[in-house]
Amino acid sequence: MKIAIIGSGITGLTAALSLAKSGHEVHIFEKSEKIGGIAETFDYHNYTLEKYYHHYFKSDENIIKLLKELNLDNDIRWLQSKMGYFTNNKMWDFGTPISLLKFKPLNFIDKIRFGISVLKIFSINNWSTLEHITAKDWIIKNAGENVYKKVWKPLLVTKFGDEHEDISMVWLWGKMKLRGKSKDNGKEVLGYIGGSNKTLLLKIMDSLQELGVKIHLNKEVKALTKNDTFEIVTKTANYNFDKVISTVSLPASLNIGQSILPKAYIKEKSRINYTATVCLILILKKTFSKYYWLNIGDESIPFGGLIEHTNLISPEEYGGDHILYISNYVFKNSNYYKMTKQELVKAYTANLKKINPDYSEDWIIDSFIFKDDFAQPVIKNNYSKIKPDFKTPVDGFFVANMCNIYPEDRGVNYAIRDGVKVAEEVLK
């Protein structure tokens, strides 16, 4: 078979690997000049960074398996990470039983209720019992209003903005379950691929080339039509295929397939919304805090998390630079999404000072900004009823993207799993 894959993110790349290994002719169409999608990297001086911070969990079995297959299993390092929470104008240790005891924003009773509710989440295996309840309602019921307001609400707001009250408990369950399993001797560890995701992407690229996969970069797919075969339409040329997998976001896939997909299908799947992301990277002269991951629980601060990469991997590996990712999930109409890098640096300065009063713009050696329109699907109650299947109503046209991942939260591990699964579906 001659098979087209639209998009060269991790889903598209792993689908291509699977199909090419089965002996099919595979072409990847990618609108950008590089492969990798959201997991892409960039070179700076003599090191490489992810455009968006990336780490992996011990429970990410599909990544671990893929790294083994590509002889990269020794390249992933498992490291202890320090997590913090900024609230009440102070940074608090967070994420361990001892830090919970010292966390003053919650009173004694709230701490007990918080601890018990977290254990309850870990003990739930049948996620479908949570489908009908929002995270807000479940937390208030199981941990109380104060725990919701002090801990969870700010986190949900930073990820989902105005839609935070509608987020399903299944989403939070998926996220917590994953994280809870990433432990070595009872302590949380996170995985980081030496040399960044670039190490993985280069190895995948080599394997694809050995298998004869054709990668068309700078080739945005504009439309898809179908007669005897499918026709992929790009600005400069059209190409014919027996089967097509779209691994671009669901809205973009619906747009590409609009002339062949039934209207009712497009209407139903268009109900699934995404948040966008704007990520500012500051290369600093000094360390910003002692935390790798600092959640921001202060709603007056416009960003949701500070990820100081060089508190996971030593600054020595980055020529002494300190690397701070400022994570902000927003909707596309947000002012922060529209800002330029300079505007964002300015807008964030006073907020960074609230967290660390010593911080000054003089610390900045360099900065980078990355934006993506489709960063996180908004998972509401009873999502399983509208979750897309890999198969669309058009025979031979498949979709595989973050919206297919459920009850787990999106991530590279599940992109790999779904890349393999959608390939199996195509071959059935």
Residue 2: C-alpha distances to residues 5, 28, 33, 239, 425 (Å): 10, 11, 23, 10, 15
Is there a contact between 54 and 201 (Cβ–Cβ < 8 Å)? no
Would you count residue 245 as binding ligand FAD (CB under 6 A)? no
**Shortest distance (Å) from residue 147 CB to ligand FAD:** 26
What tokens does 184 get? 């070595």
Residue 63: C-alpha distances to residues 188, 416, 424 (Å): 18, 7, 18
- Sole window of 92-100, 140-148, 391-399, 406-414 interacting with ligand FAD (rule: CB under 6 A): 406-414
According to DSSP, the residues that pair with 228 across neighbouring strands are: none
Is there a contact between 3 and 242 (Cβ–Cβ < 8 Å)? yes
Q: Of 281, 297, 276, 427, nearest to 366 (Cα)?
A: 281
| CA angle, 88 then 275 then 164, to 5° | 50
Would you count residue 277 as binding ligand FAD (CB under 6 A)? yes
Would you count residue 41 as binding ligand FAD (CB under 6 A)? no
Q: What residues from 133 to 152 belong to the interface with ligand FAD (CB under 6 A)? A: none
Q: What residues from 49 to 88 belong to the interface with ligand FAD (CB under 6 A)? A: 52-56
Would you count residue 344 as binding ligand FAD (CB under 6 A)? no
Question: Is the Cβ of residue 19 or residue 412 nearer to ligand FAD in the bound state?
Answer: 412
Question: Is the Cβ of residue 138 or residue 398 nearer to ligand FAD in the bound state?
Answer: 398
**Shortest distance (Å) from residue 75 CB to ligand FAD:** 16
Would you count residue 29 as binding ligand FAD (CB under 6 A)? yes
Helix pair 108-123, 135-143: axis angle to 10 deg: 120
**Burial annotation 261-285 (CB, 10 A radius, 16+ → b, else e):** beeeebeebeebbbbbbbbbbbbbe
Query: Can you tell me the distance from the alpha carbon of 336 to that of 340, in angstroms, rounded to the nearest whole number?
Result: 9
Which residue of 16, 221, 306, 355 would you call a contact of ligand FAD, by CB under 6 A? Answer: 221
- Sole window of 23-31, 237-245, 285-293, 378-386 interacting with ligand FAD (rule: CB under 6 A): 23-31
Q: Pinpoint the alpha helices (H) of 161-261.
A: 169-180, 197-210, 250-256
The alpha carbon of 311 is separated from its chain's Cα centroid by a whole number of angstroms, namely 20
Query: Can you tell me the distance from the alpha carbon of 233 to that of 151, in angstroms, rounded to the nearest whole number?
Result: 48
Is there a contact between 28 and 13 (Cβ–Cβ < 8 Å)? yes
**Shortest distance (Å) from residue 115 CB to ligand FAD:** 26
- Sole window of 119-127, 173-181, 345-353, 410-418 interacting with ligand FAD (rule: CB under 6 A): 410-418
Would you count residue 130 as binding ligand FAD (CB under 6 A)? no
Would you count residue 411 as binding ligand FAD (CB under 6 A)? yes
Would you count residue 404 as binding ligand FAD (CB under 6 A)? no
Would you count residue 38 as binding ligand FAD (CB under 6 A)? yes
Would you count residue 423 as binding ligand FAD (CB under 6 A)? no
**Shortest distance (Å) from residue 203 CB to ligand FAD:** 16
Which residue of 412, 420, 422, 426 would you call a contact of ligand FAD, by CB under 6 A? Answer: 412
Question: Is the Cβ of residue 7 or residue 297 nearer to ligand FAD in the bound state?
Answer: 7
**Shortest distance (Å) from residue 362 CB to ligand FAD:** 27
Which residue of 5, 11, 198, 390 would you call a contact of ligand FAD, by CB under 6 A? Answer: 11
According to DSSP, the residues that pair with 278 across neighbouring strands are: 328, 371
Locate tokens 């050995």: which residue? Answer: 210
Q: Number of C-alpha atoms within 13 angstroms, CB side, residue 305?
A: 23
Q: What residues from 279 to 308 belong to the interface with ligand FAD (CB under 6 A)? A: 279
For ligand FAD, the binding residues (CB under 6 A) are 6-12, 29-32, 37-39, 52-56, 220-221, 247-248, 252, 277, 279, 327, 372, 375, 401-402, 410-413, 415
